[in-house]
Amino acid sequence: MTLVNIKPPGYWRADFPALGGTMSGQPVVFLDSAASAQKPRSVIDALNKVMEGGYANIHRGLYEFSAETTAAFEAARRRIARFIGGDTDETVFTRNTTEGINLVAASWGRANLAAGDEIILTEMEHHANLVPWHMLRDELGVVIKYIPVTDTGELDLARLGDLLTAKTKLVSFTHVSNALGTINPAKDIVGRVRSFNKDIKILIDGSQSAPHMKIDVRDLGSDWFVFTGHKLYGPTGIGVLWGRAGVLAEMPPYQGGGDMIETVTLDGSTYKQAPAKFEAGTPAIAEVIGLGAAVDYIDFLGWDAIATHEKALSDTLFKRLSARKDLSILGASKNRIGVVSFNMVGSASADIGMILDKCGVAVRTGHHCCMPLMKRFGVEGTVRASLALYSTPDDINALEAALDKAAKLLS
């Protein structure tokens, strides 16, 4: 039976138990979903079912508990693969986006890069898409170049052609900035790179795009696409690395251990094909099943309904915060998700965050794991408000009221 969502967006919030509670004695206004999203009841129930039911390790047991848990785990893989337009043999489970990028850097990078080879990143990357490549540079002597960010918080793609050379082996970039909310033109970037040299590998960090828009990895055209479960209304400790089957086949294992091997002798080992060869040891069983429940929940609501709801809220949030004379906003891209980073004139972001907490409003403060981007804009950090599908106009009203209070207290 096909489920049909008949609840309008205003009722989606009720699906998230935590949002019915309080924070600092006030009704919860959760505006930190870019860091980690709240969980719907269906995901919580899926996790509880695994833990309270016939839990067992997977792939190895011949008894009923193991067979049923294995079936649920692999069914979740199929649903998650379909969710992003990929195949199951291309869908590798990791702990998070960070591990997915480290996997590519350690496996493909060490096997294919040498001193003098070039990697192109961007100035707006999360540290997860910077540090692994810095480590590889220090180890192998590769060269890293960066696509600049404009004053409006967009990539200066006019510079991409100057950065691409015969030595370019990889281009890796974020689909959506976690600090600016800017949606980068991923297909355009992939097309430009492929036109220059079809052999250059491309990785897209989809941590912030997967929770807010329909992803089709075939249509995007990259070699890898990574995202994390906890931002997608799923559990922590589970992420996904999608990779083209041919690319994954050529990559050596990232870690060694149980469940990724074909044979082991005292003289050596042989390995399974992807995705198994990248999933050493007991996986995050309940978390994978929980992520499967999360994508089911999104499918139930429908991307069209989610996109319409979030676009209206995002436009309202950006318009209202930009209109305030006491705030300075980072970036002004019109192609954005519901993420706005700002500072209050003359006040520290941490002070703003603490006052908002007392009003029941949860925001993130600091550099948002984007220190080079903060430096680009000449700030140490910002206050960041970020929306999700459960956000409402009342959340924006509460944020503004809390900012009014902060302005009075700090004046």
CB-based contact 54:68 (threshold 8 Å): yes
**Which two three-digit tokens encode residue 7?**
């609840």
The pLDDT tens digits of the residues spanning 316-368 come to 999 999 999 999 999 999 999 999 999 999 999 999 999 999 999 999 999 99
Look-up: residue for tokens 């540079």? 137
Average pLDDT, the chain: 96
41's CB contacts (< 8 A; 6+ apart) are 15, 16, 17
Q: What was the pLDDT predicted at 390?
A: 98
Q: What was the pLDDT predicted at 6?
A: 58
β partners of residue 329: 342
pLDDT at 75 over 80: yes
**Rounded distance between C-alpha atoms, residue 289 and residue 312, angstroms:** 32
**Rounded distance between C-alpha atoms, residue 224 and residue 251, angstroms:** 12
Determine whether 370 is an active site residue.
no
The pLDDT tens digits of the residues spanning 193-218 come to 999 999 999 999 999 999 999 999 99
Mean pLDDT within 31-55: 97
Secondary structure of the chain in the HEC alphabet?
CCCCCCCCHHHHHHHCHHHHCEECCEECEECECCCCCCCCHHHHHHHHHHHHCCCCCCCCCCCHHHHHHHHHHHHHHHHHHHHCCCCHHHEEEECCHHHHHHHHHHHHHHHHCCCCCEEEEECCCCHHHCHHHHHHHHHHCCEEEEECECCCCCECHHHHHHHCCCCEEEEEEECECCCCCEECCHHHHHHHHHHHCCCCEEEEECCCCCCCCCCCHHHHCCCEEEEECCCCCCCCCCEEEEECHHHHHHCCCCCCCCCCEEEEECCEEEECCCCHHHCCCCCCHHHHHHHHHHHHHHHHHCHHHHHHHHHHHHHHHHHHHHCCCCEEECCCCCCECCEEEEEECCCCHHHHHHHHHHCCEECEEECCCCHHHHHHCCCCCEEEEECCCCCCHHHHHHHHHHHHHHHHHHC
β partners of residue 83: none
pLDDT at 4 over 80: no
CA within 13 Å, CB half, 348: 4
Catalytic residue among 276, 369, 379, 410: 369
Q: What was the pLDDT predicted at 46?
A: 98
Express as a percent the part of the chain with pLDDT over 90.
96
Of 3-12, 225-234, 398-407, give the lowest mean pLDDT range: 3-12
Mean pLDDT within 24-43: 98
CB atoms within 10 A of CB 199: 8
Q: What was the pLDDT predicted at 133?
A: 98
In this structure, what is the dihedral angle of CA atoms 313, 368, 183, 295, given to the nearest 10 degrees? -70
Mean pLDDT within 78-93: 98
Q: What was the pLDDT predicted at 1?
A: 33
CA angle 312, 315, 321 (to 5 degrees): 135
Could you tell me the domains of the chain? 9-30+303-410 (3.90.1150.10), 46-299 (3.40.640.10)
Q: What was the pLDDT predicted at 5?
A: 61
pLDDT at 109 over 60: yes
Q: What was the pLDDT predicted at 140?
A: 98
The pLDDT tens digits of the residues spanning 230-287 come to 999 999 999 999 999 999 999 999 999 999 999 999 999 999 999 999 999 999 999 9
Amino acid at 364: R
**Rounded distance between C-alpha atoms, residue 46 and residue 342, angstroms:** 37
